[in-house]
Amino acid sequence: MDFQEIDLPAVGKKYIINLNDLDIVVIHHNTGKKELYFVKDDEVLYNIEFSENVAKDLGMILTGTFYQTLSPDKVDFIINQMVMEWIKIRDYPKLHNKTIAELDIRRNTGCTVIAVIRGKEFFINPDPYNFKFNPQDTIILVANREQLKKFFEYIR
């Protein structure tokens, strides 16, 4: 694999990734627009234009921000020791309009809130004192199985 970075005066930057007989070309425009080209033998096979936000989302997907593969030993550890649970809180009014600190989730259950999804926003490590849960939120907890059981007992 060969990689090139080229300045494009008054336009932005061009990146070329050579994968044997195929080039992937990315052009970052100063305006925020992004273009992606698949080129073979100097002929464009396909091209796509992205807004800055869509390009960021795609970049996060490609870098594993949302999903990362795990080695078998890590999978065994996670399955046996740790649970990551996604909970839609609309059915749990005890959580509505409360902060993590008000609920004292860790002390009462042992669970840790690591993120909250609100619509298209993703809040990682929300401030326990200032971030209030909304009924439409999905919270992501990390716990062991016993702690998760305590959490569900606590919020009912």
**Each residue's pLDDT tens digit, 108-144:** 999 999 999 999 999 999 999 999 999 999 999 999 8
pLDDT at 145 over 80: yes
Per-residue pLDDT, 60: 81
What are the tokens at 130? 């200032």
Mean pLDDT of 62-82: 71
Strands 12-19 and 43-50 come out as unpaired
Distance CA 20, CA 23 (A): 8
Distance CA 120, CA 66 (A): 13
Mean pLDDT of 58-76: 74
Confidence of residue 78 (pLDDT cuts 50, 70, 90): low
Q: What is the pTM (predicted TM-score) of this model?
A: 0.51
Question: What is the residue-averaged pLDDT of the chain?
Answer: 89
Quick check: 134 and 96 in contact, CB under 8 A? yes
Q: What CATH topology corresponds to 72-155?
A: Alpha-Beta Plaits (3.30.70)
Distance CA 46, CA 154 (A): 53
User: What residues does CATH 3.30.70.1450 cover in the chain?
Assistant: 72-155
pLDDT at 51 over 90: no
CB atoms within 10 A of CB 115: 16
Distance CA 2, CA 68 (A): 25
Mean pLDDT of 95-115: 95
> Amino acid identity, residue 127?
D
